[in-house]
């Protein structure tokens, strides 16, 4: 099911044209809000917002903590578009549907994608409430063939065989650490490797041990397909994982993770994530990559 669905260039264009006709904002930066992090969209000024159900071709959000709205507005001198709610593979969407908005953003002229997510920590150094700057990812569904780029390549967006060796922009990662120091939150921030699993169940103990052995710092159920599609079409990407739980690696652990707890940590840390992202956006340079809307 995942590899067969194809979306034509016209369908992306139709969504982009519809949005262009509904708002005067022409975004340079897109932000995807992870579980419990939807408040990031509330910081935008001069907002225009659209329910996903009104946008041609957009899927629907079905997960609690993902409101299902696209919000346009200004943030610290940059024009932004914010997904208040993302799409996950486990909701039953094909991977090209979960990543549909990314190519629409490209057609709108977006140059930089900021992804946020909730994730579970597999390492001692990452605690609940910490924020991990994503240095790299392991796209487990992608490794076994569930990849949004499967199928005929659309050369207007990017090459058949895109590199993924530097998809999380180094300059933005350095900027994030500088900003963290200035905001006095460097103590809860570090870089790490995010792994995407299919979900929707959380990990078994043996799976958690496997992920840990493979060098994963934090695990979640999203993000990698979005980053693959954004990198394919030449966007600059920056990603943050909010650590919402520790992933149990011992059969003696009695704590078990649940989505309510994930959302609660999102609410508790929303202010910090918001301040970080806002300040990074204020200070990021725009127009320093070579991609134009296709």
Do β-strands 236-246 and 189-196 pair in parallel, antiparallel, or remain unpaired?
A: unpaired
270 near ligand LQZ7MJT6, judged by CB under 6 A: no
Of 60 and 204, the one with the shorter C-beta distance to ligand HPA is: 204
Q: Are 109 and 232 in contact, with CB atoms under 8 Å apart?
A: no
CA distances (Å), 69 to each of 81, 82, 188, in order? 10, 8, 30
Q: Looking at beta carbons, which residue is closest to ligand HPA?
A: 120
262 near ligand LQZ7MJT6, judged by CB under 6 A: yes
Of 81 and 273, the one with the shorter C-beta distance to ligand LQZ7MJT6 is: 273
Gap between the Cα atoms of 8 and 141, Å rounded: 23
94 near ligand LQZ7MJT6, judged by CB under 6 A: no
257 near ligand HPA, judged by CB under 6 A: yes
Give the relative orientation of helices 259-283 and 170-182 as an angle to the nearest 10 degrees. 100
Of 77 and 200, the one with the shorter C-beta distance to ligand HPA is: 200
Closest to 121 in 3D by CA, of 253, 257, 10: 257
User: Is the bond preceding 200 in cis, omega lying within 30 degrees of 0?
Assistant: yes
Mask 218-237, x = binds ligand HPA (CB under 6 A)?
Answer: -xxx----------------
Choosing from 25, 91, 121, 194, the catalytic residue is: 91
Mask 199-218, x = binds ligand LQZ7MJT6 (CB under 6 A)?
Answer: x-------------------
Q: Which residues in the chain belong to E strands, given as ranges?
A: 29-32, 45-51, 69-75, 78-84, 112-121, 131-139, 189-196, 218-220, 236-246
262 near ligand HPA, judged by CB under 6 A: yes
| SS3 call for 211 | helix
Closest to 218 in 3D by CA, of 129, 118, 113: 118
Catalytic, 212? Answer no
- With contacts defined by CB under 6 A, name the span among 20-28, 50-58, 114-122, 159-167 that binds ligand HPA: 114-122
35 near ligand LQZ7MJT6, judged by CB under 6 A: yes
**Would you tell me how many other CB atoms lie within 10 Å of the CB of residue 184?**
8
The b/e string for 20-54 (b: 16+ C-beta within 10 A; e otherwise) is eeebebebbbbbbbbbbbbebbebbeebebbebee
Q: Are 214 and 249 in contact, with CB atoms under 8 Å apart?
A: no
69 near ligand LQZ7MJT6, judged by CB under 6 A: no
* One of 139, 222, 231, 270 touching ligand LQZ7MJT6 (CB under 6 A): 222
29 near ligand HPA, judged by CB under 6 A: no
Choosing from 15, 245, 279, 284, the catalytic residue is: 245
Residue numbers at the binding site for ligand HPA (CB under 6 A): 118-120, 202-203, 219-221, 244-245, 247, 257, 262
List residues binding ligand LQZ7MJT6 (CB under 6 A).
34-35, 63, 86, 88, 117-118, 199, 220-222, 259, 262
Catalytic residues: 35, 66, 88, 90-91, 118, 221-222, 245, 259
């Amino acid at each position: 099911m995942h590899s067969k669905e194809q979306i034509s260039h016209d369908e992306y264009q139709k969504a982009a044209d519809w949005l262009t006709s509904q708002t005067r904002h022409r975004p340079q930066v897109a932000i995807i809000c992870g579980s419990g992090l939807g408040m990031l969209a509330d910081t935008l000024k001069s907002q225009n917002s659209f329910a996903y159900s009104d946008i041609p071709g957009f899927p629907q959000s079905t997960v609690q903590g993902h409101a299902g709205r696209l919000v346009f507005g200004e943030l610290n001198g940059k024009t932004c578009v914010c997904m208040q709610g993302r799409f996950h593979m486990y909701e039953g969407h094909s991977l090209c549907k979960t990543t549909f908005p990314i190519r629409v953003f490209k057609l709108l002229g977006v140059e930089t994608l900021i992804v946020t997510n909730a994730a579970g920590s597999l390492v001692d150094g990452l605690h609940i409430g910490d924020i991990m700057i994503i240095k790299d990812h392991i796209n487990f569904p992608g490794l076994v063939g569930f990849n949004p780029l499967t199928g005929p390549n659309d050369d207007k967006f990017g090459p058949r065989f895109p590199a993924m060796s530097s998809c999380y922009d180094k300059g933005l990662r350095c900027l994030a650490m500088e900003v963290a120091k200035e905001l006095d939150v460097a103590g809860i921030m570090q870089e790490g490797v995010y792994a995407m699993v299919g979900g929707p169940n959380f990990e078994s103990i043996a799976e958690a041990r496997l992920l840990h052995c493979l060098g994963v710092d934090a695990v979640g159920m999203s993000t990698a397909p979005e980053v693959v599609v954004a990198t394919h079409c030449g966007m600059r990407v920056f990603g943050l994982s909010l650590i919402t739980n520790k992933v149990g690696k011992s059969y003696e652990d009695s704590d078990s993770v649940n989505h309510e707890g994930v959302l609660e940590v999102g609410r508790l840390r929303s202010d910090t994530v918001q301040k970080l992202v806002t300040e990074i956006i204020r200070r990021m340079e725009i127009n320093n990559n070579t991609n134009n809307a296709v």
